[in-house]
């Protein structure tokens, strides 16, 4: 695979991972309200949330894996664990490492949910509220397409979706007409 192809697929898989993480966060927020979402039963929304989460992990693994082999990105395995130590845009790359580390914590605790108990799982699951904006900031700061019109539109839709879901989630039922 050529260097250009690695770079292109690495960027593209990062964008897809961001969109899927956004879908997962939005659905996670919506299921917590306890009301049906768009007429769908809660279990259906929960399943889509879970599947979008798993798919986002796959695309994130592609994103990271492809960029490990791309000489332009200069990503090292060390950079996947230790934030802000990278050679390429260290602050922004470090945010990506922080988001990755938080996502790993979410995945591991979700896999061990039955053994951890609901309270512990829920406490760790709140990390999604920290992970998502860090991932958005990473994509805006390190992405070479960060200020292209198409990416800004995707980022704006992602931000609007999460803010809209959070606003809907935290409104009181009495205020909703």
Per the model's pLDDT, the better-predicted residue between 53 and 169 turns out to be 53
What is the Cα–Cα distance from 26 to 128, expressed in whole angstroms?
A: 11
pLDDT above 90: residue 161 = yes
pLDDT for the residue numbered 140: 95
Contacts for 112 with CB less than 8 Å, ≥ 6 apart? 121
Secondary structure in 3-state letters for 38-68: CCECHHHHHHHHHHHHHHHHHHHHHHHHHHH
Asked if residues 83 and 102 have their Cβ atoms less than 8 Å apart, the reply is no
Q: Which residue has the higher pLDDT, 79 or 169?
A: 79
Model pTM score: 0.89
pLDDT digits (tens, 9 = 90+) for 52-109: 999 999 999 999 999 898 888 778 999 988 999 988 889 999 999 999 999 999 989 9
The torsion angle over the Cα atoms of residues 9, 11, 16 and 18, rounded to 10 degrees, is 160
As given in the structure block, the two tokens for residue 3 are: 């260097």
């Amino acid at each position: 695979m050529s260097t250009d192809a690695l770079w292109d697929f690495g960027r593209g898989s990062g964008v897809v991972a961001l969109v899927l993480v956004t879908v997962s966060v939005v659905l996670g927020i919506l299921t917590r309200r306890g009301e049906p979402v768009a007429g769908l039963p809660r279990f259906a929304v929960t399943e889509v949330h879970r599947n979008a989460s798993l798919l986002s992990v796959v695309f994130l693994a592609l994103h990271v894996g492809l960029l490990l082999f791309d000489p332009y990105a200069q990503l090292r395995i060390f950079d996947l664990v230790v934030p802000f130590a990278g050679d390429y845009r260290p602050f922004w790359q470090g945010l990506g490492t922080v988001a990755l580390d938080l996502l790993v914590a979410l995945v591991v605790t979700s896999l061990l949910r039955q053994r951890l108990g609901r309270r512990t799982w829920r406490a760790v699951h709140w990390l999604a509220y920290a992970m998502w904006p860090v991932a958005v900031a990473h994509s805006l700061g390190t992405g070479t397409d960060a200020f292209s019109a198409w990416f800004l539109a995707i980022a704006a839709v992602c931000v609007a979706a999460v803010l809209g879901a959070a606003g809907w989630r935290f409104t009181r039922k009495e205020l909703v007409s």
